[in-house]
Every structure is written in structure tokens, then in C-alpha cells.
Amino acid sequence: MPLVTRERARSLFADLTHTAAVPLDPDVLLHMPRLRQHGHVFFGDIAVRCYKHKARWMYDERDVRAAGQALADLHVDLGDVVDVQLPAYRDIPERDPEEWHRPDWRRTLMSWMVERARFKLVQENRPYEEWGDWRAIGDNGLPGGLTWEEFVAYSSQARHLQNIAGTRPLQLLAWNGETWLLPRAYTELLDRWEQREGELVDQARLCRCGAQGPYSGDWRKNTRTGYVTLCPPCAGESSQLYTGHLRGVLYDAHRRRGTRADDYLCRLCKQSPAAAWDHCHEHGYVRGPLCGSCNTREGTGLPYLFLRLEGAALHLLECRGCLEQRTLPRRFHTAVVRAHLEQTERHGRCPREPYTREVEHDHGVRRFELECSGWHASRWTKDVTAPEMAALVRAFVDAALAAREGQPSPGPATGTG
């Protein structure tokens, strides 16, 4: 099988389709959206399968060439257009979870429009009480007083607002004064994509025992050879529980080599087979086996969100260096301070937790901006020195360790002003 890298596949596909009638986004071959759900990348109704080789995702060159040629040859009469009949927008709580995850390109277009209209009102700093019927569709077909120029400009800044099935619909979408129009051949292509993607997801969500997993792909596990579908009982049966036998061992030590991470269950989510040995990059000690998703959350995800996962802090403290020094890796320090400020700071008597973000770091002092979204909205700043941050991190670690041992937690560190 002639496997090629994602970069090579993208270059090859772009060359083959540069004259295609349908606007395409070759970058999906790099970003591989919905890989977890079904293991393919879509361009219209054409699915290009993804392969994992030596821990790298790749493509069969023959598949890329076949897809590129088919799309280059696709005839689209730009003068033969149809009414796309966009549905009314519904909030997520109003939708069935199964329905929410199923592909629906018309619903996606409407969601893009509503999201942009909402963002525009937020940017204008208008109180929610003045938004009125902001979802109402205007004479130009867009909600919330949105203009076409604003919609396109915003969409160009966010990848998820540009692409449907590897194509760029906004380059073909047009308003005739009464309804939205798209070329007939293109709408038929997207309709076929909905059906084909649904079929692939339904096939991929079946566990080996025959149980059917959620449409979101939560049972899909990233292994060294690719994604497999395992229900929680089957995942537990196929993997060993990690008992800490590499605690205190350096990641590069000979003792770790030859011990496969994928023989174990992820010690963080406790549902998926592990894919890698997670380790502390500051001290070099092994922390434990993690699945691909949890390893990504720890390494490149938002620290603030990672620390909110059950067991996340104790996992980081599997590093002997962090444990002995009662600290966490540096990239998590700001997240600890942010959480502390949101728990302790308030705008007057407002009971709501403020939203907090770091806005400045100068000469050992970090400045955080806090924003309260209560009835009398307000913003203010809080400065935290390096010693104060170190004290807050140590208090956070002590609290996590005390909770593990079932001991009374020490009080929060003070001194942040």
C-alpha cells in the first residue's frame, strides 16, 4: 500500500483539484476532522480512509488520487440553482443528543449565521435585555441585523465556520431577496455526504460484542494501529490496570523501555486503552499510561480545563519531582491562580463567579482581569506576585493530596491582596 504523509496528500490533492467547480478545502487532509467518529476524511460524498502507521496518520496515495480526479471531473452548472430551505434554529438543549451529532448541512449553515449574529451583539457590549428578537431573519436572510460582509469576514477567521464535508459553501451560497440558493449539483453532493457519513459512523460505533456506542464516538479508542470501538466493559477486559510500578522511574530509563503503554487502561479516564507513557517534561519522571485523548489534553489542551478533570492533579503528582517539591509543571500555575480567583473574588455582593484571564506578565507579577456577568456587569484587575503564585500552587497540591488521603484539607493560601 503506497502510504503518504498528510502533507504530501494535501499537496497532491490540491494539485489535482485546482480547477474543480466545487470550492474545496485541501487542509482537511491535515486536520482530519471527525477522524475519531469514523476514520475517514470527506470531500463531498467521497470518503478518503485514514491509516495509522508507526504512530503517524497517513493516506493511501491511490485513494487521494481517485478522490481528486473524481472531484476535478464533477460537473456543476452554476446557473441551475435550488432553494436550500434552511431550518429554524434550535438551541442544543432543545435537540435530541443523537440528532445533534448527525450530519445536517442545512442546520450547520443556519447555526453559523446565528453564532455570528450572537457574537456581533456581544462585541457591541449591548445588554442581553436589549437584544430583542435577535434571531429574527432580516430582509437579507441573516439574523440579528447581520450583514453578508460581516458574516463572511467572521467565517474567514474560524475554520469550523468555513467547511462542510471538505467544501466551502459560502463561496456558492447566494440570496435572491427571498431565499438562499445553491447549485443543484452541489446540494445533491451534500445530501449524499449526509447519508454516507451517517453510514460510516453507524458502522464504526459497533463494539466487538455487538453493543452500539453513542454517535459522538465516545467509545472510539485511539490505539497504536488506529481507532477501535470498545464499550467500557470490553475496554476494561482488554487492558491491564496500571498499579504505579514505574513511579519514580525516568522516562528515558532502560527499565521503562519495552513496557508497552497500550497493554494498560488509561489511568485518567479509566475507559480507553492507553496509547503513550505520559511523563513530566520538567523533571523527566513517568506519570503513567494515558490514552491519546487524555495525553493530548494534558500536553496541549487548556491547563484550566485539564485540572478540572477528576484525578488530573493527582496524575500530575505521579511525577516524583513535582510531588517532592509540592508543585505542578509551570504551564499549570496560571490555571491554579485563575481557579483560586474565581472561587474567592466577587463583584460586590454578587454571588456569581467572575470569568478570569491573565492579561499581563511583567517583572514577576501576573495581572489578571476579572469580569462579572451579573446584573451590574463589571471588570477589575488583580495582581499576583511570583511568591503568591507559588504559595497558591503549593496549597492546591496539598489540598489534592489531603483529599486523596481523606484528611482535612488545609485552608487556602492567603496573600493575594
pLDDT (0 to 100) of residue 415 = 41
pLDDT (0 to 100) of residue 91 = 67
pLDDT (0 to 100) of residue 409 = 44
- pLDDT by residue for the chain (417 residues), tens digit each? 799 999 999 999 999 999 999 999 999 999 999 898 999 999 999 999 999 998 799 999 999 999 999 999 999 999 999 999 999 887 655 556 677 778 999 999 999 999 898 888 877 877 767 777 888 899 999 998 899 999 998 888 776 668 999 999 999 999 999 999 999 999 999 999 999 999 999 999 999 899 998 887 878 887 778 888 988 888 777 788 898 989 999 988 866 667 888 888 889 988 778 888 999 999 999 999 998 889 989 998 899 999 999 999 999 999 999 999 999 999 999 999 999 999 999 888 788 888 888 888 888 899 999 888 765 668 889 999 999 999 999 999 999 999 988 754 444 444 443
Residue ranges of domains in the chain: 3-73, 81-204, 220-324, 330-405
Distance of CA 232 to the CA centre of its chain: 22
pLDDT (0 to 100) of residue 231 = 86
pLDDT (0 to 100) of residue 90 = 75
pLDDT (0 to 100) of residue 94 = 57
pLDDT (0 to 100) of residue 88 = 87
pLDDT (0 to 100) of residue 365 = 92
pLDDT (0 to 100) of residue 89 = 84
